[in-house]
Amino acid sequence: MYKWDNHIASPLVRSKPFLWFWGGVTKVQIIMEENRKIRLGISIGDLNGIGCEVALKTFEDSRMLDFCTPVIFASNKTVSFQMKQLKLNIVFNGIPDASKAIDNKINIVNVWKEVPRIDFGQATKEGGEYAIKSLRAAVDALKKGDIDVLVTAPINKNNIQSEEFKFPGHTDFLAQELDGESLMFMVTDTLKVGLLTDHVAVKDVSAAIIPRLIRDKINTIEKSLMMDFGIRKPKIALLGINPHSGDNGVIGKEDDEVMKPVIKEMSNMGHLVYGPYSADSFFGSDGYKKFDAILAAYHDQGLIPFKTISFGQGVNFTAGLSKVRTSPDHGTAYEIAGKGVADASSFKEAVFMALKIFKNRTEYEELTKDVLKKQRLKRER
């Protein structure tokens, strides 16, 4: 059963923090700025996968509408077909664009009028095309401010490729569309793993990890931990590139010649960064529990232990961007698509994580503005 007490206990609204000081401690009171809840956009993902199913199952529980206003980018007919196939009985509100979303309803933006073919469990070109149509519409709404955060349902990296879309995944596309330096950040409430390189072939990893990249990723993950997760002085561990972090150069020199100098440099500047650690002993001995976040050198080095430890409750968060985007930590799951048996837990976690990050970021930005304003006024006196 889902543990509601692990999450926010009251409705979230678009808000502006009102700050006051008491006994030297800053307190934040959220007051309503606009008379609507946070609008949470959902790109539908591969139509032949489980994306639509887990999104609908998440908001099938009416209590979820207390937390946000969902806006799904697809079409009435597409969603109705999925509901019939999955035997779901959900009432939704069809709208022409996200700005017309209504609170306390599941809103469907009609991105297309035609009826696409849905072949559950099949990786088709058409399934990929409509996944990208949904994604582009959702990102456009996010950039315009018609939605506040975005949760992306899983796509197939093969069938989304076209002359118009040549990105290996969501993260790279969003990095182009939104301001900021992106970082693939896998998170739960207790474990956070970022990647120095994400969708890079193993043979190219060592060449890709250069000092500037390490510095940039450390800065990005540190800022995200402060701004998005409320950690004032984050402690970050870096995992080595080679087995046993090179074993003093016996199994490769990259850790000694590239990683260690940057870690020392950043430490001397006041950043709490440590490593490089050998990934096997680091996770095997629960060493990860001593840190606020871990930076893995490459995709599988970080994601295998993360998914093993998080037990399907993990969330993929794109840190470093101007807007909040999360995603469940699973794929299209073609093998169970259309059968009504998909577990929506990770998608629900992605929804809650997006809302938490949005709230934390809003409070952080307002606190920062207040501090900067006080500093400016002090200089002007």
Token digits for 7? 């999450």
Instruction: Give residue 371's pLDDT.
Output: 62
Specify the CATH architecture of the domain 1-179+322-381: 3-Layer(aba) Sandwich (3.40)
| Residue written as token pair 């022409």 | 96
How far apart CA 36 and CA 103 sit, in angstroms, is 7
Instruction: Give residue 33's pLDDT.
Output: 46
Task: Print pLDDT tens along the chain (381 aa).
Answer: 344 444 544 445 554 443 333 233 333 333 334 567 999 999 999 999 999 999 999 999 999 999 999 999 999 999 999 999 999 999 999 999 999 999 999 999 999 999 999 999 999 999 999 999 999 999 999 999 999 999 999 999 889 888 888 888 898 899 999 988 999 999 999 999 999 998 888 899 999 999 999 999 999 999 999 999 999 999 999 999 987 775 676 567 888 899 999 999 999 999 999 999 999 899 988 889 999 999 999 999 999 999 999 887 899 999 999 999 999 999 999 999 999 999 999 999 999 999 999 999 999 988 887 665 555 555 555
The 10s digit of each residue's pLDDT in 259-295 is: 999 999 999 999 999 999 999 899 988 889 999 999 9
Burial of 268 (0-12, 13-18, 19+ CB in 10 A): exposed
Where does the chain hold its CATH 3.40.718.10 domain(s)?
1-179+322-381, 181-320
Instruction: Give residue 374's pLDDT.
Output: 56
Residue 207: strand, helix, or coil: helix
Residue 214's identity, in one-letter code, is I
Instruction: Give residue 367's pLDDT.
Output: 86
Instruction: Give residue 22's pLDDT.
Output: 29
How far apart CA 193 and CA 185 sit, in angstroms, is 6
Q: Which fold has domain 181-320?
A: Isopropylmalate Dehydrogenase (3.40.718)
Token digits for 160? 């989304």
How far apart CA 211 and CA 254 sit, in angstroms, is 11
Among 221, 254, 248, CA closest to 237: 221
| Residue written as token pair 């509100």 | 93
Burial of 123 (0-12, 13-18, 19+ CB in 10 A): middle
DSSP state of 65: G
